[in-house]
Amino acid sequence: MLTGGIPQHPVETTAGSFRELGLSQPIVEAVEKIGFEHPTPIQAAVIPTALQGQDVIGLAQTGSGKTAAFSLPIAERLTHGRGVRALILSPTREIAMQTKAFLDIFGADHNLSTACLIGAVKMKPQLAALKKTPDILVATPGRLLDHVMRRSVSLDAIEQLVLDEADHMLDLGFLPQMRDILRRLPRERQTMMFSATMPDTIEMIAKEFMREPVRVDITPQGAASGISHRLYVVKAEDKRPALLALLQQELGSTLVFTRRKMDADWLYHILQRQGHPVTRMHSDLSQGKRVQSLERFRKGSHRILVATDIAGRGIDVPGIEHVINFDIPETVEDYIHRGGRTARGAAQGIVSTIATWQDLAMVKQIETTLGEKIPRCAVGGIEPWVEMEKKPSRERRRV
Ligand code: AMP
């Protein structure tokens, strides 16, 4: 079964087998050993194409099994000891570490080694890892460029490139770094790009840096299945009591999103003072603290995690039952990504959004994307804000 840095939760699979995708016996055995019985739709679609060396654009959300979709062909096609041959660019440190955990398992039979180059941790262990001539690099863009500038790594022999969660990388402002890295890579290579959405910038990158990519789209149409959306429109001063009431109402594992780091800290302290088992995650915390928070949340010793969007992107924890948007997200994409932390794979989940009247324009945009109106709900003791078009006049109420 799965261990270590690989999260586990139910995921939709196909009826097929890994063997018929063209994978070799040792890889199929490694897959079986960790408990994957059938490929997920993205794995079934990507693996045979990737094994032939073609460029691939995979439209898929986190939680669809895309890490294995690109890791298995890489492990299959690389041979050990010929310099850094594969590069996987990840948007966040957490995603990079999960990817390394996969590659360590699947590369073991082929004697492949992977180095992880992520920011906000010491350079020295990474320099030591690079001295051992790894075959694969998993890196966040900023730290990779630091190493390139210091000449501690060479990208000259890269044959396979993966841009993982490309839309997240853009959201995080990594476009200049991505371009810089892409220009430094050999032109003769295979590129696989994964993204939950295809904004124009991603299309441009695909046009400029990929060769006749095969496009695979397994994103759910409209609302992601398994998620119930709920909206709590309240007065600004009622946001905090509404959150506390929601935490009493739904007792499962809960991820609370705030927009700003200082609000994540503020809520964390409030919840802690009230005796809630809470932990927090934002980009001002050290890598060690973030790993610790995630572990506590994952293991269930702390049922509530308060996070900002950037930190929240890397959270792949099975069994999150409830996502609460304490602040409405700034973009529809963020709403979808936040919500995607729950109901992962085949599970069910709730996304509750606490909003004030000022957020209603964003609510409308979210509803247009979801293709459904989010049910308005009320929570214990908090008077809901009545939206204008529905507010009956006093006279009419008296009649
Ligand atoms: P990912 O989208 O790569 O983050 O994977 C999401 C989750 O699905 C992780 O918990 C994986 O361990 C799990 N997973 C990936 N592929 C399979 C599979 N074929 N069968 C069962 N679980 C899988």
DSSP state letters, 209-240 = H-SSPEEEE-PPSSSPTTEEEEEEE--GGGHH
Last-in-domain residue among 217, 246, 262: 217
Whether residue 336 sits in one domain with residue 232: yes
Whether residue 274 sits in one domain with residue 356: yes
Last-in-domain residue among 174, 191, 217: 217
Least Cα distance to 382 among 349, 361, 355 occurs for 355
CA of 127 to the centre of ligand 1 (A): 31
Q: How close are the terminal C-alpha atoms of the chain, in Å?
A: 66
Whether residue 169 sits in one domain with residue 297: no
Query: Which residue has its alpha carbon closest to ligand 1 atom 6?
Result: 63
Least Cα distance to 198 among 176, 166, 230 occurs for 166
Whether residue 179 sits in one domain with residue 58: yes
Query: What Å distances lie between residue 56 and 180, 191, 192, 212, 294, CA to CA?
Result: 21, 7, 5, 8, 31
Supply the pLDDT for residue 223: 42
Whether residue 397 is contained in a domain is answered as: no
Atom of ligand 1 nearest to the CA of 7: 10
Whether residue 171 is contained in a domain is answered as: yes
| Rounded distance between C-alpha atoms, residue 89 and residue 205, angstroms | 14
Whether residue 202 sits in one domain with residue 245: no
Q: How many domains does the chain have?
A: 2
| Rounded distance between C-alpha atoms, residue 244 and residue 226, angstroms | 24
| Residue 374 φ then ψ, to 5° | -80, 125
Whether residue 90 sits in one domain with residue 19: yes
Whether residue 381 is contained in a domain is answered as: no
Maximum separation of any 2 CA atoms in the chain, in Å:
84
H/E run at residue 367: helix 360-370
Last-in-domain residue among 154, 186, 217: 217
Whether residue 335 sits in one domain with residue 300: yes
Q: What CATH number does residue 37 fall under?
A: 3.40.50.300
The best mutation among 9, 11, 43, 216 to test binding of ligand 1, ranked by most ligand atoms within 8 Å of the C-beta, falls on 11
Atom of ligand 1 nearest to the CA of 60: 2
DSSP 264-275: HHHHHHHHHHTT
The pocket around ligand 1, CB under 6 angstroms, is made up of 2, 6-9, 11, 13, 36, 39-40, 43, 62-68, 316
Whether residue 380 is contained in a domain is answered as: no
Whether residue 378 is contained in a domain is answered as: no
H/E run at residue 394: helix 394-398
How many CB atoms are located within 10 Å of the residue 5 CB? 16
Whether residue 349 sits in one domain with residue 236: yes
Whether 309 and 338 have beta carbons less than 8 Å apart is answered as yes
Whether residue 199 sits in one domain with residue 73: yes
Supply the pLDDT for residue 62: 73
Query: What is the number of residues in the chain?
Result: 399
Whether residue 63 is contained in a domain is answered as: yes
Which residues does the chain have with pLDDT short of 50?
1-5, 7, 222-224, 390-393, 395-399
Whether residue 350 sits in one domain with residue 246: yes
Whether residue 53 is contained in a domain is answered as: yes
Residue 345 domain boundaries: 227-370
Atom of ligand 1 nearest to the CA of 318: 10
Q: pLDDT of 320-349, one tens digit each?
A: 889 999 999 998 888 988 888 887 665 678
Whether residue 249 sits in one domain with residue 171: no
Least Cα distance to 258 among 302, 199, 211, 305 occurs for 305
Quick one: angle between helices 66-77 and 41-51, nearest 10? 20
Query: Which residue has its alpha carbon closest to ligand 1 atom 16?
Result: 65
Whether 65 and 18 have beta carbons less than 8 Å apart is answered as no
Whether residue 201 sits in one domain with residue 96: yes
pTM of the model: 0.64
| Rounded distance between C-alpha atoms, residue 27 and residue 117, angstroms | 25
| Residue 316 φ then ψ, to 5° | -125, 85
Whether residue 258 is contained in a domain is answered as: yes
Whether 230 and 339 have beta carbons less than 8 Å apart is answered as no
CA of 245 to the centre of ligand 1 (A): 34
Supply the pLDDT for residue 12: 76
CA of 36 to the centre of ligand 1 (A): 8
Q: pLDDT of 94-111, one tens digit each?
A: 889 989 998 998 888 778
